[in-house]
Chain A
Amino acid sequence: MGVFAMPSLGADMEAGILVEWLIKPGDAVSRGDIVAVVETQKGAIEIEVFEEGKVHELVAELGVELPVGAPLAVILAEGETPPVETEPAPEAPKPEPEVEREPAPASEVETVIAAPVTATRPAPSSIAPTSLNAASPAARVRAHELGVDLSGIHGTGPGGVIVLSDVEGPGAKAKPAPQKTGTPMEEMRKAIAAAMTRAKQTIPHFYLSETIDVQPATDFLSELNAERAPAERILLGALFVRAASRAAAKVKTMNGHFIDGAFKPAEVVNPGVAVALRGGGLVAPALMDALLLDLDQTMAGIRDLVTRARAGRLRSSEMTEGTITVSSLGETGAEAMTGVIFPPQVALVGIGAPHVRPWVVDGEVVPRSVITLTMSADHRVSDGRQAARFITEFETLIQAPETL
């Protein structure tokens, strides 16, 4: 695989600090192995590799903050030769784009990230931008996100207008990595702000809500849990994750990622389970391949995710491979929530706490436990019709809990 680089562990991540190596040169690694621990704004994350190979060299130093994409290690597949370090690699038969990146010593990386964006820009040509730095709206938004000063950018659009590609040029990535200065909670808050701001700026959200009778589900669980020891009991949240996963498998426009201007439906369902952290903050690690899990396995998986989210030991795949988010307010609290989609996902299922309300069943008004489900969906990918279909699927499933 060649150079193993600092992965992006979510829409909000720009850099991470390598805190632990779990491999050394000469070790054999295979897909899914945890090779390192990286400290991010959302806590420590265990980094997995996705290909087989042998560790050739550890490039990055511990304790150094590195931007996403910075080389961490060189891991070679069988028969692969290490990339040449002193000159550009010749056209070696290397199948993957990542291997074209040259590994650089950590000191060089630091130099690169410390260089201000403007220094890498060519001097303004004769077609100078106006004094107002005429720029397209997309360029302005991106420049704001990147913290780039438009006055230092040479526009290549009509009349010297700055367009998106000018802002996203090769120098754009060279902005200094944000320094970690705040408390862990302040850093978590910044990470949430960055991801949610991006979501609200780029995803045209729309919302559909439905109040759903969950009395069959709560009755089913009361009966089931009465016969079980505490360690084997099931929470209502596990039924919600089961129902949402199966509904997502049927309504494919709710399950996947919007990347590079196009929707890519996912072949598996990895529901991100929003976990509130004690003291504040939120992470939504993915329950991998949830369709393969039965109800007990789903509950065990959620319990494990919650435990590791709070201990700060989630895995890189769980941070990046969620295909839809399920955010449930638990069994007490507010009755409804309109959530913000976690990019690059395209839908979020917001579920309020169950409340007992007067409800009409077979023509009679009776007290029933009901939830309000609010679907947040991405209008670039779907319309109300598909979101409504998801809700109908969910409702049908949750009202037949024994089938979950």
Chain B
Amino acid sequence: MTEEEIRTAYLEELSRVAPDIDPETVGDDDHIQDDLELDSMDVLNLVTALHERTGVDIPEKDYPQIATVALAVGYLKAKIK
């Protein structure tokens, strides 16, 4: 997956978990909990969706590394084989 494909996948899954979020308005450094107000169940649903879509099983200790679009793109790019 290219960085752009990862970004698209992340934003699509994010707006599926929280349908009121318009992907167009999500900034690269918006924090999914502090800025976008996802709760722990939303974060788990996002991680589950990213696992199904990219095959990357994100362990709990790495949750902070997918907390923004910019972080997630870098993290997933390195993990996707």
Instruction: Identify the 8 closest CB pairs spanning chains A and B, nearest first.
Output: A230-B48, A331-B40, A230-B47, A230-B51, A330-B39, A231-B48, A306-B41, A278-B20
Extra contacts besides A229-B51, A230-B47 (13): CB < 8 Å = A222-B60, A225-B59, A225-B60, A229-B57, A230-B44, A231-B48, A237-B41, A278-B19, A278-B20, A279-B20, A303-B45, A306-B41, A330-B40
5 CB-based A-B contacts, threshold 8 Å:
A222-B60, A236-B40, A237-B40, A278-B18, A331-B39
B37 at the interface (CB under 8 A from A): yes
Q: Contact mask A293-306 → B, CB, 8 Å, 1/0?
A: 00000000011001
Residues of B within 8 A of A225 (CB): 59-60
Q: How large is the interface on A (under 10, 10 to 19, 20 to 34, 35 or more residues)?
A: 10 to 19
Number of A-B contacts (CB under 8 A): 41
Using A222-B60, A230-B57, A233-B60 as known contacts, say yes or no to A332 and B33 having CB atoms under 8 A apart: yes
Q: How far is the CB of A253 from chain B (nearest CB, A)?
A: 31
Binding site for A on B (CB under 8 A): 18-20, 33, 37, 39-41, 44-45, 47-48, 50-52, 57-60
Binding site for B on A (CB under 8 A): 222, 225-226, 229-231, 233, 235-237, 276, 278-279, 302-303, 306, 330-332
A233–B44 touching, CB < 8 Å: yes
Residues of A within 8 A of B60 (CB): 222, 225-226, 233
* Complex: chain B residue closest to A221, CB-CB: B60
Measured between alpha carbons, how far is A238 from B56 in the docked complex, in Å? 25
Measured between alpha carbons, how far is A225 from B40 in the docked complex, in Å? 14
Measured between alpha carbons, how far is A279 from B40 in the docked complex, in Å? 16
B58–A230 touching, CB < 8 Å: yes
Residues of A within 8 A of B58 (CB): 230
